[in-house]
Structure 1
Amino acid sequence: MSKATPVYLEVGVKRVFASALDWPGWTRSGKNEKAALEELAVYTSRYGAVLKRAGIAFPATADFEIAERVKGNATTDFGAPAMPARSDSRPLTAADGKRLAELLSAAWKTFDEVVAEAPAELRKGPRGGGRDRDQIREHVEGAELAYAGKVGLRLHEPDRQALLETLGRPSKGGPLKPNGWNARYAARRLAWHALDHAWEIEDRSE
């Protein structure tokens, strides 16, 4: 019998995010808890394909177990997962850090490959909105630069290797800088952002 996949729910007023605790990037949202979990289940195979590209085994299933609920904030309602799980603050071993870096690398690999294969102009939304491919790439790179500051890195341009080394380093599990992010949450946020936009590009390339 397959083991249930532990998830945590970030519950805002207008939006709920469901995130698989052990799989950075496997995060989806909905208007309520049920919708968020249903959306997470829909993306099981899509997330599995990300790991398959990187040669990483993916034994998780869409049989979810709610391990935690945390209160969201304005960023949650705006459309980004903003709150770490309480269990994210447990100590990060060398093995944990290595796995975290591998999973984040897999998300970036998928994003880069999707960008390379996509047309420059993407299908617009019903109101004619939406960024094109290069604008999305620049947006993701800009976010990586901003997120780096949350883990104590002062970068003048995106540096994924520096991020991987920082997040993969063993730690006590707390924020990597005062009022910053811990490694597990940072990896989840970075992987989610890359994959969310990779999947957007794929969907708008069809």
Structure 2
Amino acid sequence: AYGERYRPVAERAGFSFPTSTVAELKVVERVPGSATTDFGAPGAIAEVDRRPLSAAAARRQAALVEACWAAFDEVVATAPSALRKGPRGGGRDLGAIVAHVLDAERAYLRKLGLRLGPFNGDEPDSLKSHRPAVLKVLGRAWRPSAGDPPWTAPYGARRIAWHVLDHAWEIEDRSEPGA
């Protein structure tokens, strides 16, 4: 069901997107879940995310994160400020979702070992100001070493991409009347 939502993001990053069926997908690792995974977020660093990452693989992951951000930016730019409410009348409007994404990314930066100056949430480009530093971290070869930040670059890329797309798709879905 999500394949067609991922396709434009993968293509924007320069990758073809296979037309695989769920039956053709291969599970490469399972990790214990938590309250975070119960919510749908990647909440544990898999062993595959602790393995060394080549420069080419790092550039690919950075390109995917950048494509996720571009998709989010496009959705935000075209969405109404007041979004359709959920079945019980709740749900954040556009500005609150954008602020939430910015707040989460601020926390993610620290988990990746980045310390940047304060963001000004009132400035339109504030959301984008940290992205070059994040892409620099995600786009370089990586090997585990003592003193690493709490998140590995591969896990950070996965978590950022998931979060940005989750909210881009929420905004899309709640921008459509009666959907």
TM-score, with length taken from structure 2: 0.84
Structural mapping, 1:50-65, within 5 Å: 50-59=9-18, 61-62=20-21, 63-65=24-26
The answer as to 2:110 corresponding to 1:149 is yes
| Structure 2: runs of 5 or more not aligned | 120-128
- 1:189 aligns with one of 155, 159, 167: 159
- 2:74 aligns with one of 113, 117, 128: 113
Give yes or no for contact 2:62–2:139 (8 Å, CA) kept in 1.
Answer: yes
1:125-162 CA distance string (max 9 Å, x none): 11111011111111111111110000100122350110
Partner of 1:96: 57
Aligned partners of 1:199 and 1:175: how far apart in 2? 37
The answer as to 2:6 corresponding to 1:47 is yes
1:76-111 CA distance string (max 9 Å, x none): 224422112211111111111111110000000000
Which is bigger in relative contact order (C-alpha 8 A, separation at least 6)? 2
The answer as to 2:142 corresponding to 1:171 is yes
Q: Equivalent residue of 1:68, what SS?
A: coil
Give yes or no for contact 1:176–1:183 (8 Å, CA) kept in 2.
Answer: no
Higher strand proportion, which one? Answer: 1
| Structure 1: runs of 5 or more not aligned | 1-41
Shift of the 48–173 alpha-carbon distance from structure 1 to 2, 3 Å rule, reads farther
Aligned partners of 2:144 and 2:57: how far apart in 1? 11
Aligned partners of 1:55 and 1:98: how far apart in 2? 11
TM-score, with length taken from structure 1: 0.74
1:15-67 CA distance string (max 9 Å, x none): xxxxxxxxxxxxxxxxxxxxxxxxxxx10111002223444322362321111
Q: Equivalent residue of 2:30, what SS?
A: strand
Count of matched residue pairs: 164
Shift of the 137–191 alpha-carbon distance from structure 1 to 2, 3 Å rule, reads same
Aligned partners of 1:148 and 1:132: how far apart in 2? 25
Comparing 196-205 with 59-68, greater Cα deviation is found at: 59-68
Give yes or no for contact 1:89–1:174 (8 Å, CA) kept in 2.
Answer: no
Aligned partners of 1:123 and 1:162: how far apart in 2? 34
- 1:43 aligned partner, one-letter code: Y
Comparing 79-88 with 169-178, greater Cα deviation is found at: 169-178
- 2:148 aligned partner, one-letter code: K
Q: Equivalent residue of 2:28, what SS?
A: strand
How much is the aligned-residue C-alpha RMSD, in angstroms? 1.8
